[in-house]
Each structure stands twice: as structure tokens, then as C-alpha cells.
Amino acid sequence: MTSRTLLGRLASGPSAGIAAGVLGLGVAELIAALAHGASPLLALGDRVIDLTPRWLKEAAVATFGTADKPILLVCVALVTLILLGVAGALAVRRPVLGAGMFLLLGAVDAAALLADRAGNGTAGVIALVIGLAIGVTALVLLTRTLSGRQETPAEAEAPAGFDRRSFLVAAAAVTAVGAAGGVGAKVVTARRHPTTRLAIPTAVSPAAPLPAGAELPIKGLTPHLTPVDDFYRIDIALLTPRVDVADYRLKIHGLVDNPVELTYEDLLAMPLYERRVTICCVSNEVGGDLIGNATWTGVRIRDVLERAGLDPDADAVKSTGADGITIGTPLEALTDGRDSLLAIAQDGEPLTPDHGFPVRMVVPGLYGYVSATKWLTELEVTRFADFRAYWTDRGWSAEGPIKTQCRIDLPRENPDAAGEVTVAGVAWAQHRGVSKVEVRVDDGPWQPAALAAEDSIDTWRQWSFRWEATAGEHRIQARAYDRTGTPQTGEEAPPAPDGATGYPTRTVTVG
């Protein structure tokens, strides 16, 4: 046997395993989609997310930002393909071992499906069993032609009747059918809840006009309002939930006098309020961009809770999203008069699927992990002592007030020459308001920056500082003060367990 033939032979086993596995997984994905079940591949990804240590999650968000989930899916898919290849290699010499490894991988996936946060795992398991049966059958048929004498690689020879070209054509065909099943599953899921144009009623209380001077005319500075396409997205949903408004129901129950169930139309019929609110992710590093400011339209949460009637012993609300996430929010923050909303629109348009369509929570002053539930389906009035939410169960603090912070946006590049340089950015202290921002260079004295006009205490403020730069390398830092007069702390701390702290710092070299 030539070396080329030997290498082709040795590669045929893994190829058979991958082809058979892709066929089985593709069939399972398609059946699961048709049966409204959880995706086997995404279920694996979800379990990886749930079991990943907090420090590793934070490192992934810090490194990859909003691309963390696509990268995770690619990694899960690659590992799965490698294991399928190993199963194929085993099946050439020991068919039982190859089939057994397929079954073991299926059992792991089934366990992940049964742990599906959204409760759609049973249909996914049934689909997986069917796909697994088809995959094992394909593995046996593909590797049967490879099961010739296999003493050692040096002695390996092609079995009688083996046609490598025919084998590769068969493996490619099997892979293509499996891939077609996966594509079909995506098409079925996308068509189930087509995006529709919805009319948002006029708010009974529109947002106040933007004050003159709230937007500084500085090129490159973060705009006061973040465009929807640029708005950050951090969540645990590997597949964006697609919720049909015709079937939408929001349940309000728990420690209430009268449990309530609201449709999307019920929410549209209630008084709507429009407010500009800056929301922020607790995973935001100092100076990070996991924060955005938008105009939100929705129903006041306190109006909905008052309709249900609150038990005086309650101190929390446990909210649940269509992705299965659970979040715990202090009841006080939802009833103390701040503009906490069940938002249905962002910047005057219905929420996009990525940002929580049809309904999400927006609560000024709290990090998103304790307040910003997307694809909202349930509000349970309860007590913190009686439950643990998704993130608090993973070591984050139960309550997450946003800390006073600022960010340096400019200069983005090293100044070309000495002289006046504009240093600028944004500062936030939601529901307390920003009173001033200071800048220092090379650990010199703190100097006041110019603030843009205040929109509201629930939104960030732009700021700028004119720096007379000299040649050489310089370190620029900034700090903000809230309206109580308290400055942001310079003590450095990571995001976990309740938000990062420290001064944003930028090093530049003046030419």
C-alpha cells in the first residue's frame, strides 16, 4: 500500500464519524425545530455557559465582548466534530466502541436538553433519539467498508471491495444531508415568528425635550443617544427567543392579592410612559462600552404591581424571560417612584428581538443582571430570602446598584504635536445624577472638566477637558462625582461580584 493510500485509509474513519454525526445532529435539529423543542446543539452551549466558572465568563466577555456567544458555539461545534471523528476512528476497528461513543455523546446532549432553562427539552430529547438512531446507522454503514485487516498502520491494507472514491462521495452526501437538516431547522425557527410592523401608541407622558447643550459638538465623542444597532447586548441566550405577540402572556403572581395575566394588547392599552434611561451591564470593565442610553417606551412596573396588589412582606420581584433566565430585583426599585418600565419600544420603534421583543424591563440605577430581563414572561412578587436568581446563584450580589463611573473616549489616537488636545468622554451615576467630572494628567492635580447639560439623573452626561499637551508620553485619568458629592473610587476591583471600580486611564504619546 502506498503512503498516500495509507493516509487516506487512516483519515476515512474520522471522516465517517463526522459525516454520520452531522447527519444525526442535522436530523435532530430539524425535528426539534418542527416540534418546537430545544436545539440539541444550543442545549450543549447553554450547559457550557451554566457550568462555566464566573472568572472564565468575565474573561470571555472582557476579551470578546458581544462576540462571546458565537465564539462559544464555534468551539462547541469544533469539539463535537473532533469527538465524532474519534468515534469514527474507533468504529473502523471496533464498531461497538464507535457506536457506544455516539451513544455516550447523545446521553450528554440529552442531559443538557433536560436541563433546558426554557423548559423545551423533552421534545428536543425525542428529536435527539431519532437523530442518534439515524447517525449510528450511518456510522455502521460507512465504516463497514473500512473494517479490513488492521494489525498495525504499517500492515494496514484496504479491505476487499473498498473504493475510496465511492466512500468519499457517500460521506460527502451524508454530510450534505445533515447540513441541509441544520439549515432547515434555522429556516423553520425564523419563519415561526416573522418580524411584523407594530404600531406603538402615543405615550401619555412623553420624554422631556432634550435640553440645549446636552450633546457636545465634539467629533468622535460617544453620542448622547446610542443607536439601536450599536446598543450593547449581553445575555445568556445562544438563540434569540422569537416570541409571537399573538401568544404572548405576562404573568404576575406570588405574594399578591390578585394574580394577573396580561397580553401584549393589554399592555398597549395601558398608559405608556416615554423616558430616556442609561442602562449598564455589571460585566462592564472600567472604561468599557457595555453601556448605552436610549429612549424607552412602556408601562410603569408599579402600575402593574398595584393592579395585582402587593403583600407587605414582599421585598423582591423574581422575573423570568423566554430564554429561561431568572433575575431578582428589589421591590423598592420598582415602586419608589423612579421610571421603572416594562418597555415595549426603544427609540420610538418596537423592541428588536436582540433587545427583548416584545417586552423587557428597564430599571434606572440598577445593573442589568438584577433588572433588565429581556423577553419577559413572568413577574413573581416574593422575598429575597425565598429564592436565588440565575446570577446570584453564581456568586453575584443580590442587589446591584450602579456605581458612579466615567469613560475616556478622546483622544482615540496619539496627538501629532504638542498643543491643545481635547479629552472627552461620558460619565454616569444613574438615579443619582452626575455633578462634576475631573481630569488629571501624569498624577498631577485634579482639574475640572466641562459638563454637557444634564438630560436627567437617569442618563449619562458628556464631558470635555482642554489639555495643553507637551511632547512625550502621558497618562490621563478621569473621575466623576454623583449629586451627593461622592466621587467614584480609585480603588481597582473587577466586575464581580457587584461592578468594577477604578479610574479610567489612557496613555498617549504626544509627537
**According to the model, what pLDDT value does residue 194 have?**
58
**pLDDT tier for residue 442 given thresholds of 50, 70 and 90:** very high
- pTM, rounded to two decimals: 0.84
- Is the distance from CB of 393 to CB of 369 less than 8 angstroms? no
Cis peptide before 411 (omega within 30 of 0): yes
Residue 447 in this model has a pLDDT that exceeds 50? yes
Residue 470 in this model has a pLDDT that exceeds 60? yes
- Mean pLDDT, to the nearest integer, of 440-454? 97
**According to the model, what pLDDT value does residue 149 have?**
40
**According to the model, what pLDDT value does residue 4 have?**
46
99 grid coordinates? 457506536
Maximum distance among all Cα pairs of the chain, rounded to whole angstroms = 86
**According to the model, what pLDDT value does residue 49 have?**
85
Highest averaged pLDDT of the listed ranges 50-59, 86-95, 151-160, 225-234: 225-234
pLDDT (tens digit per residue) in 302-316: 999 999 999 999 999
- Mean pLDDT, to the nearest integer, of 409-431? 95
Residue 253 in this model has a pLDDT that exceeds 50? yes
**pLDDT tier for residue 1 given thresholds of 50, 70 and 90:** very low
Residue 2 in this model has a pLDDT that exceeds 80? no
- Is the distance from CB of 502 to CB of 490 less than 8 angstroms? yes
Q: For residue 390, which of 330, 329, 334 has the smallest C-alpha distance?
A: 329
Of 37-46, 61-70, 204-213, 306-315, least confident by mean pLDDT is 61-70
**According to the model, what pLDDT value does residue 150 have?**
44
Residue 278 in this model has a pLDDT that exceeds 90? yes
**According to the model, what pLDDT value does residue 148 have?**
52
pLDDT > 90: percent of the chain: 75
Average pLDDT across the chain, whole number: 91
Of 46-50, 53-57, 408-412, 496-500, least confident by mean pLDDT is 53-57
What distance in Å separates the CA atoms of residue 331 and residue 318, rounded to the nearest whole number? 9
**According to the model, what pLDDT value does residue 193 have?**
64
270 grid coordinates? 395601558
Q: Is 420 left (phi over 0), alpha (psi -120 to 50) or beta?
A: beta
322 grid coordinates? 423566554
- Is the distance from CB of 430 to CB of 278 less than 8 angstroms? yes
Contacts of 154 (CB under 8 A, 6+ apart): none
Residue 82 in this model has a pLDDT that exceeds 80? yes
* Cβ neighbour number for residue 119 with a 10 Å cutoff: 8
**pLDDT tier for residue 3 given thresholds of 50, 70 and 90:** very low
pLDDT (tens digit per residue) in 397-408: 999 999 999 999
pLDDT (tens digit per residue) in 132-190: 999 999 999 998 877 654 444 444 454 555 567 788 888 899 999 999 999 999 888 87
Which residues does residue 327 pair with via DSSP β-bridges, in sequence order? 319
**According to the model, what pLDDT value does residue 36 have?**
87
- 452 vs 511, more confident: 452
pLDDT (tens digit per residue) in 328-373: 999 999 999 999 999 999 999 999 999 999 999 999 999 999 999 9
pLDDT > 70: percent of the chain: 93
